[in-house]
Amino acid sequence: MQADDQHADSLPLVNRALGKIGHCLRQGCVICIEHAPAMAPRFTPWQVWGQPSCYSGDAGQVYREIDRCRTTHTDHHIRLNIEDYSCHSRFSFVVHNPAAG
C-alpha cells in the first residue's frame, strides 16, 4: 500500500471522529487545538492554538478554528485533543498533515 492510499484510507476515520465533535461538546468535553512543525516518533513539542474551550457547544466554531490554524500554519501538523474530565479520558488525533496536502 502506498502512502497516498494509506492517507485516503485514514480520511473516513478522521471525518467520523470530526463528526462526533458536536456530541463531545454537548457532553461538556474540552477541546484543544494544537500544532507542531514536525512529528517525531518519541517526542513532539505541540503548541496550543488559542485556549482550550467548550466552544459554547458550537461544533462549527471548532471547524473554523481548525481552518484558521491551518491557514496560519500551513506547514504544521494539527491535532485535536478532546478531554472528558467527568471520566478522566482524552482522545487525540491529527486533523491536518502538511505532507498529505
Write out pLDDT tens, residues 32-63. Answer: 999 999 988 888 899 999 999 988 888 889 99
pLDDT reported for residue 16? 76
pTM of the model: 0.78
Closest C-alpha among 53, 50, 60, 56 to residue 26: 56
Beta strands in 1-101 (DSSP E): 30-36, 47-53, 77-84, 89-96
Q: Which domains does the chain have, with CATH numbers?
A: 3-100 (3.30.190.10)
